Structure 1
Amino acid sequence: MKDVYLLSGFLGSGKTTLLANFIGELKAHGLKPAVIMNELGELNFDSQAVEEGVPLKEMLNGCICCSGAEKTEAQVQSLLAESDWDVLLIETTGAAHPVEALDAVYSPLFANDLNIKGIITVADSKRWLHRNDMTPQTRSLFLEQIRHAHLILANKSDLLTPEELAQVTFEMQNLNSHAPILQTVNANVPFTYIERMRATATGDVQKADLGHHLHLSSRLLHFGEGESYTMEEVEDWVRSLPETIYRMKGYVPIEGNSHPMLFQYAYGLTQWLPEYMKMEPNLVIIGDGVDQIPLLGRTM
């Protein structure tokens, strides 16, 4: 499987610097990187930070977490088919909500090929101290990018006094107690630290041990040969899930149908669409603590 990292953070926080550093670290460890860059404008000047020879897909004039979700899926499929790489780095626009960005990367079409390592949020430490000067909507997104991160870089720490840096670290930790926080300058972070990240639940469904509970994460449910359900059974199961399950999408085998149906879930609403090709019966689940939920057709 190929590892995937999402780089999140506001414009000017240091995401592109992290991307350039990350590419260098991967190459130094003998790994081949690929990059997807997402910007809202028509020109992506940040693409100059990507070294020659690194497979690069650019998404302009659209947010990865909105209408760009389908484009992201197409870009990933294109990279899987056309390029030789080991690790995919996705730099999201500063306007991307982490849950939406993560959702855009997951697809039942290539869920078996990718290992989503997690979201690295680069937070401008100085901006954090002045977050109350932001508009409510901007501040909310800023906090959400930190709240859902798997690793937080309190960047530009050299611009703060020791007292201010301690305050920033303490307050960010209170907002997201699941993610480690690194105080960084120029978004420099040891590669071995990033390598230990994981946002994909694996193994059997069981109660998570202390210290191994996954925060925002994913799980792939594969339906076995001959396994099928009624739509009512699936809907009943969905209603039994906690509110911390944010997204589901995939192909579910339904009794009486020759092909699995396309199923999507978001914001408490489900959608079913007929599928006229025989797709792999996989369902991707995204949320907090997905390693602990009872899965369809199984028990804890």
Structure 2
Amino acid sequence: MKDVYLFSGFLGSGKTSMLVDVLRQLKEEGYKPAVIMNELGEIPFDSQAVDDEVPLKEILDSCICCTGGEKTEAQIQTLLYEADFDVLIIETTGAAHPVEALDAVYSPLFAELLNIKGIVTVADSKRWLEREQLTPQARSLFLEQIRHAHLILANKSDLLTEAEKANVVFELQGLNPNAFILQTTNGRVPLKLLKNLQATALKKEIEPAQIGRHLHLSSRVIGFHKGFTQEEFEEWVRGLPPTVYRIKGYVPIEGMQYPMLFQYAYGLVQWMPEYMNMPPKIVMIGEDVQSISVIGEKKE
């Protein structure tokens, strides 16, 4: 499986500085990294910071969490087919919502090949203290990027007083008590902290969640060995907790030759017929998804 990290944060927060330093650490430890960079403009300014020897794919002029979702899937498939790598880093735009970015990355077509390690959000500490000056939309996105992170870098801490540093950590912990918070400068983060993350829900009997693995926002692949009616499947979905944010994949439906494409978001479901024999599996994204009972499973 390929380890995958999502780097999140506003423009100017220090994501690219973190990326360059993490790539250096990975190569020093013998890893083969690859990078996908998402930029809203048509010119790939940030990608110039990545060495030529690192496999790089770019998503330009669109956001990974909306119109760029299909592009992201295509770029990951291309990397899996063409490139020799064992760690993939995806740097999102500052406009990317963490849940939707994770949704764009985690396709049922290759979900079992990826081990989503976590979302690392870089927060400009000064901007955090001055967040009330942001527009309501920008402030809301800033809070969401913090709330759903598995690791938070309180960056540019050298610009703060000791009292301000303490205040930043206190407020970030209040918004996201599950994430580890690292005060840093120039986006520096020890590789060990990244390795300890684990946002992919693994089978409990194989590898139980350990201390330091924050599974509050996680993803889970569910495979099916039998078919259902659409009504049965939708009844199961309606019974899921509100902390399930996204479901997408291919569901075997009785009477249908091929599994149907199923998508769920914001309480709404969508079915679309498929004309190929796609793998009968779905990807679920939400909080604590590993504990949810799956349709068709026998209760102990």
Match of 1:120, SS state, is strand
- In structure 2, the CA distance between the partners of 1:143 and 1:54, relative to structure 1 (3 Å rule), is same
Aligned counterparts of 1:175 and 1:89: Cα–Cα separation in 2? 25
SS of the residue aligned with 1:70?
helix
C-alpha contact (below 8 Å) 1:31/1:86 kept by paired residues? yes
Q: 8 Å contact 1:213–1:289 — kept in the other structure?
A: no
In structure 2, the residue matched to 1:124 is: 124
Q: Secondary structure at the match of 1:112?
A: helix
Residue 210 of structure 1 and its aligned partner are, at CA, apart by: 9.2
CA distance in 1, matches of 2:209, 2:34: 34
> Counterpart of 2:87?
87
For the residue of structure 2 that corresponds to 1:228, the secondary structure is coil
Asked if 1 retains the 8 angstrom alpha-carbon contact of 2:199 and 2:214, the reply is no
Letter paired with 1:269? L
Cα distance in 1 for residues equivalent to 2:41 and 2:224: 41
CA distance in 2, matches of 1:13, 1:6: 15
**Counterparts of 1:186 and 1:170, CA distance in 2:** 21
- What is the TM-score with the length of structure 1 in the denominator? 0.96
Instruction: Output the CA distance in 2 between the equivalents of 1:21 and 1:295.
Output: 41
Q: Displacement, 1:295? A: 1.3
Residues 111 and 220 of structure 1 are in contact (CA less than 8 Å); yes or no, is this contact kept in structure 2? yes
Equivalent positions of 1:81-120 (< 5 A) are 81-120=81-120
Does the Cα contact within 8 Å between 1:9 and 1:15 map onto a contact in 2?
Answer: yes
Question: Residue 197 of structure 2 contacts residue 214 of structure 2 at CA under 8 Å; is this kept in 1?
Answer: no
Counterpart of 1:218? 219
The CA deviation at 1:204 is 4.2
Aligned position for 1:285: 284
Gaps of 5+ in 2: none
- Measured after TM superposition, the shift of residue 125 of structure 1 is 0.3
Alignment partners' CA distance in 1, 2:214 and 2:51: 36
CA distance in 2, matches of 1:21, 1:259: 46
SS at 2:171's partner residue? Answer: helix
In 1, Cα distance between the equivalents of 2:295 and 2:4?
Answer: 27
| Contact 2:198/2:214 (8 A) holds in 1 | no
Please list the CA deviations of residues 175-220 of structure 1 after superposition, one character each: whole Å capped at 9, or x if unmatched. Answer: 0011010001111111011101000111149xx9895661110010
2:56 — aligned with what? 56
Q: Is the contact between residue 152 and residue 181 of structure 2 (CA under 8 Å) also seen in structure 1?
A: yes
| One-letter amino acid of the counterpart of residue 286, structure 1 | I
Deviation, 1:259, is 1.0
Q: Comparing 286-295 with 168-177, which one deviates more in the overlay?
A: 286-295
The within-5 A match list for 1:7-46 is 7-46=7-46
Q: Distance in 2 between matches of 1:232 and 1:19?
A: 46
Change (3 A) 1:217 1:187: same
Q: Note the 1:1-300 alignment, pairs <5 A.
A: 1-204=1-204, 214-224=215-225, 227-298=226-297, 299=299
Report the RMSD for the aligned CA atoms in angstroms.
1.4
1:279 Cα deviation from its structure 2 partner: 0.8
Separation in 2, partners of 1:213, 1:153 = 15
- Tell me which amino acid in the other structure corresponds to 1:240: G
In the alignment, residue 224 of structure 2 is paired with which amino acid? F
Q: Is the 8 A contact 1:156 1:185 kept in 2?
A: yes
SS in 1 for 2:241: coil
Q: 1:278 Cα shift?
A: 0.5
Alpha-carbon distance in 1 for matches of 2:78, 2:209? 38
How much does 1:296 deviate? 1.6
In structure 1, C-alpha distance between the alignment counterparts of 2:259 and 2:242, rounded to whole Å: 26
- Conservation of the 8 A alpha-carbon contact between 2:252 and 2:259: yes
- Tell me which stretches of 4 or more aligned residues in structure 1 moved more than 4 Å: 208-213
Which ranges in structure 1 are unaligned for 5 or more consecutive residues?
Answer: none
Q: Structure 2-normalised TM-score?
A: 0.96
| 3-state DSSP of counterpart to 1:194 | helix
Alpha-carbon distance in structure 1 between the residues aligned to 2:214 and 2:193: 18
Shift of 1:75: 0.3
